[in-house]
Amino acid sequence: MKIQNAIILALWEKIRKNKFEVLLIVFLLLISGISHAYNMFHFPYYENDEGTYMSQAWSILRQGNLAPYTYWYDHAPAGWIFIAFWVTLTGGFFTFGTSIDSGRVFMLVLHLAITIFIYFIAKKLTGRKAPAILAILIFSLSPLAIYFQRRVLLDNIMTFWIFFTIAILLKNKLKLTYIFLSAITFGIAVLTKENAIFFLPAFLYLVYERVHKKQKAFALTSWLIVSGLVISLYFLYALLKNEFFSTGFLGNTSKHVSLMTAFKLQSTRGNTLPFWNTNSDFFINLIEWYKRDYFLVIVGPVATLIGLALSIKNKIFRFPTLLSLLFIVFLIRGGLIIDFYLIPLVPVFSLLIGLVFDYLFRLRNQKIGLIYIGSFSLAVIIPIMFLSGVRTEYFSKDETTPQRETIAWIKRNLDEKAVIVMDDSIYVDLHEPGLINNKVFTNAEWSWKVEKDPEIRDRKLKGDWRNIEYIALSHEILRQIRLFENDFLANAFNNSVKLADWSQNSSSHINLPMYISTNGDWMSIYKVVDKDEITLNETWKFYKKNFIKSYGQIVDQETGKTTSEGQSYAMLKAVWMGDKAAFDGVWAWTRDHMQHREGDKLLSWLWEKDKLVDASSASDADEDIALALIFASKRFDDNKYLVDAKALLADIWRKEVVQIAGNLVFVSGSDAKRGNGYLVNPSYLSPGSYRIFAEIDTLHNWERLADDSYYLLNKIGTEYSESGTYFPPNWILVNDPDGSISSAEKYITESSDLYGFDAFRIPFRIALDAEWFGGGQAIQYLEKIEPFYIREWNEGKIYAIYNLDGENKVDYESLSTYAGALSVFKFTDSKKASEVYNRIYLQKLKYDEGYWGDKNNYYDQNWAWFATALYTNNLPNLFQQ
């Protein structure tokens, strides 16, 4: 206690004796602190690197790791270890606002410390306060310092350690302890940001100059050894983790990150153009630095050159000039240069300018009176020039509210399990409870990792961008999308819709189609369209491109034929997709080329080689086109489609619905009469459609047709199918007048008595009735035919064609016929429905190309689409929406 009191009394006595200087330093700190702190929570916007270092500090404290993702040795970790210490010291990540706000307070503390170091160093070198005051004013009010040193960047922490090291080495009595201490602090600077190593020659010079000539060799050797030992901790860590050498070195073939690989990557980043090339990183950034602070960018290098000239005879200029020159060499060396790399040079330039101007002001020799007069003039002019460079936006503009609002919106509106792609600037705020509420978004991932990290892209997201649910779009993410070599994020963004936006007051030029943004003062929330909707959309695009010719003709590429069935499928898909242009085109072509029968509005079914080959109607196409027109009248809000639908319905009832033995039967077409009966394709029976027709055409009993269709299907199942399979054949003949059922093989082909590429559509049409109207008849029928599908699926596969006794006639499967099984399971066994969908349809889907299986198989492309849409609940009854 006595020792503590003695120290306090000694310190107080020193302050009392130097109270003017103490007041001066306090005044300078106020200027420096206010210029830095005022509006620092609002300007500049939260930058991606700030979030990266805050998230790495978070990972140290919450996960015990050096990074929340795989640590790949991009930087040594000392910087964010200090941030983690600061967070612990101040009570958490949200003590001052957002996590980055807390980090910016830490940057303010370091900025004030550097201010004190500058004062001490300038005074120590010259013995006067004037150059120290000038250096601090330049440093405190520099637009570059205000802009970059507010941000949570490793360069700011590194600069603190560099100036701390200088201050130690400039102490009056440089003891061996201080030499060791300065070596440690320099090593920490390098472990904070590797480019501190460029200052090494300057520090070796300073150590050499500051020690007694008899101790120079020992001091230099000791300093190098101690600093080297500190820096070597980084290499030792990599060695202990078995991550020092690259994969393949000394036979180690296991894939892993490595320090050597990171060094190689970091050293080859950026372009290799000479610094004077206008496209080099240095030149591009030089222009930006000049726009922000033309005084420092011009006067700093000039002061360096003057200092170089003066250092020939004046030792006080040698060390700061060497610091400046060494870091300028780093900046112009070629390779990657990021704008904030300039940070350490700002206080160095400020120090040099203060020293040079002080020296010039003190010249009294008449022979160089012009220099004195000119220098004095500059002392008046330069502050005016300098102050004009400080933009008022630094103290008034709000660039971070959009980022704060984004955090708040996500925390208030999204589920904690939501898969979110975001800028790293909001990582901690979404992963740490306490800000806004206690929600923790464990699936919020940094956009760079989503695009580049196999652990996230391939494992967590399974290599499928459709597994992304939301994008917190920012300036940084747009830039990454533009620069990345593949389209993972671009595909997600291009298939998303905007939910919330904070760009109204942005100064940025934003061009979303070109992925361009010029400033980070905005954000938006986008929802990636449901992955199943994306699948339907992309496969519909492919279908249009590959099967729709002329202005609306559907051509089966394998046969060259166009059928009314194909036209009807395209019209249904177009209306469900809301694609009016495609719908109108297909309907116009169909009407122009296939609706020319005499006496009715039915569609001729076959067009081939630029001519109508068969004018007979196919009732399934007629009913599906009528349904598509009814849906279109609602979807596109145009009654003309309904007029066409009503005309078609009247002729469907007149020519394709017959009464046999007291029951209404939907026959195969206008020419279905064969001998004493009528050809019926059971897969044309569509009770769900008939219930909709009943609301449009009240003159005919469509509801009865729906009920009688179930009667016929059940009759087929009990009387015609064999071995209790309840199986429907592709074709039957319904005899008149008794209504009995017989084989249609005489009139069709040998496949009429098989379950195959026609009959599988029966479960699909019944499933639509269940989907739209939930009728008991539909579910009961699906349950009756379910056992066969269960048996076959459990045995490993469902073949394309079967006898009616349930024996397979072929040994291959088909995407088309699996639609029947999926339709049944959707309403009877959700687990098996999921199995069929995932194992058959998702496995065969070519996401990037937009098709299933054989891209030229017109039938498969249609029925894979319908099956997917049914399973994913994307075939609504548009008439009742």
Contact (CB, 8 A) for 415 and 437: no
DSSP state of 808: B
Q: Which residues contact 269 (CB under 8 A, 6 or more apart)?
A: 335, 336
Tokens of 247: 């994969």
Contact (CB, 8 A) for 108 and 36: yes
Write a three-state SS string for 654-668: HHHEEEECCEEEECC
Whether the bond between 44 and the residue before it is cis, its omega within 30 degrees of 0, is yes
The CA R_g of the chain, rounded to the nearest whole Å, is 39
Pairing outcome for strands 663-666 and 741-742: unpaired
Q: How far apart are CA 704 and CA 653, in angstroms?
A: 12
Helices (H), 212-344: 216-240, 259-267, 281-292, 294-310, 318-332
Q: Which residues contact 405 (CB under 8 A, 6 or more apart)?
A: 502, 523
One of 429, 556, 579, 620 is an active-site residue; which one? 620
Q: How far apart are CA 45 and CA 111, in angstroms?
A: 19
Q: Which residues contact 860 (CB under 8 A, 6 or more apart)?
A: 814, 815, 816, 852, 853, 854
Q: Which helix (H) or strand (E) holds 852?
A: strand 851-852
Residue 554 bridge partners (DSSP) = 548
Would you say the C-alpha torsion 328, 334, 336, 339 has a positive or negative sign? positive
Compute the half-sphere exposure of residue 748: CA atoms within 13 Å on the CB side of its CA: 22
Residues across the chain: 881
Q: Name the one residue in this structure whose structure tokens are 């609706």.
A: 595
| Residue 75: C-alpha distances to residues 53, 86, 425, 625 (Å) | 10, 19, 18, 64
- Tell me, yes or no, if 620 is annotated catalytic: yes
| Residue 297: C-alpha distances to residues 209, 304, 499 (Å) | 30, 11, 43
Give the active site residues.
620
